[in-house]
Chain A
Amino acid sequence: VTASRDESTGRLVHDLRTPLTLILGFAEMLHQRHGELSPEQSRQNVEWILKAARDMQEILDRAG
């Protein structure tokens, strides 16, 4: 039972890492290149962040 719980926790962590990586990456780009990005590029970055955040929410909903 413990091994199975460890495995599912490990899977959950792995699944959450992926969208989190994208959120951090695109947020980092927005933060560091704030003045250089066009409004369209900024909008696309925010869309990536939103999509990844929704993925995280879906993963957590499934796990809960």
Chain B
Amino acid sequence: MANLSNGENMITASKHLVALFVDRFSRQWIVRDPEGRFWIVPSVENGWDHRQSLYPTEESALEPVPGQYIYMLDLPF
């Protein structure tokens, strides 16, 4: 059996899945990056360059959008 104590990569550091949401109230895309941070991404060319940070609260009504729409925003990850 392999020496598990030396297996430093046996446990992957937990990363968040990149996810896309829509905030229908503010009519904006919200992106969760791999570090788990939330960003408002405007619906313009190179929207990611114009992102603003967001700190969702319990009141935030973020509606998940299917993963394939992430490509629509030309995100860098």
A and B bind: no
Interface of A toward B, CB cutoff 8 Å: none
Interface of B toward A, CB cutoff 8 Å: none
